């Protein structure tokens, strides 16, 4: 498995902990910024991670900014990305099971770094259930295909 991760300055410490944990499990990561706690714009890593996920270059993405909202909004502008902001393990599980989420978004301010690990584990341990949920995700993809301009 290969996971792209990105953050702004307010998510930097969470991202570093997640990368360390994933490496310890033998999971390959691609760090898409930011490189420090110096101020950084959240759309940059969100677009970079989103593009890697959408292209299939990685299996999944994780994004962290102060609230988690900014990276979620930005990543969801990338066609094919289903970025989900989660605060509980149940949300992390069900967004994979029901929404086929391919990018996990987290808040660097509202959760502790250790809780970010719990959420990541719940998200990674879950799989898309398909069925009626597949029909719904297909509707989202059809709308994207019909309404978003080709690059």
Q: Which of 98, 105, 133, 147 is catalytic?
A: 98
Predicted confidence (pLDDT) at residue 15 exceeds the cutoff of 60: yes
Structure tokens at 19: 């990368």
**Contact indicator for 63, 7 with CB cutoff of 8 Å:** yes
Q: Is 65 a catalytic residue?
A: yes
Indicate if the pLDDT at residue 30 is higher than 90: yes
Q: Are 128 and 96 in contact (CB under 8 A)?
A: yes
- What percentage of residues in the chain have a pLDDT greater than 70? 98
Q: Is the pLDDT of residue 150 over 90?
A: no
Query: What values do phi and psi take at 113, rounded to 5?
Result: -55, -40
Task: Please determine, for residue 151, whether its predicted confidence score (pLDDT) is greater than 70.
Answer: no
| Active-site residue flag, 98 | yes
Catalytic, out of 9, 14, 34, 65: 65
Ranges assigned E (strand) in 1-151: 2-7, 28-31, 60-65, 83-85, 103-107
Q: Which pLDDT score, from 0 to 100, does residue 142 have?
A: 94
Split at pLDDT 50, 70, 90, the class of 148 is confident
Mean pLDDT over 63-76 rounds to 98
Mean of the pLDDT values across residues 81-96?
Answer: 98
What confidence score (pLDDT) does residue 105 get?
A: 98
Cβ neighbours of residue 26 closer than 8 Å, sequence gap 6 or more: none
């Amino acid at each position: 498995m290969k996971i792209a991760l990105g953050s702004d300055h307010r998510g930097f410490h969470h991202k570093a902990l997640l990368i360390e944990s994933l490496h310890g499990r033998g999971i390959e990561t691609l760090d898409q910024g930011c490189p420090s706690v110096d101020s950084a714009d959240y759309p940059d890593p969100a677009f970079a991670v989103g593009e890697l996920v959408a292209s299939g270059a990685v299996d999944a993405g994780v994004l962290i900014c102060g609230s988690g909202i900014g990276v979620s909004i930005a990543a969801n502008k990338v066609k094919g990305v289903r970025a989900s902001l989660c605060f509980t393990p149940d949300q992390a599980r069900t967004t994979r099971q029901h929404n086929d989420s391919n990018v996990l978004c987290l808040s660097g301010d509202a959760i502790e770094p250790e809780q970010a690990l719990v959420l990541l584990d719940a998200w990674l341990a879950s799989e898309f259930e398909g069925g009626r949920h597949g029909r719904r995700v297909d509707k989202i993809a059809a709308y994207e295909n019909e309404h978003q301009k080709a690059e």
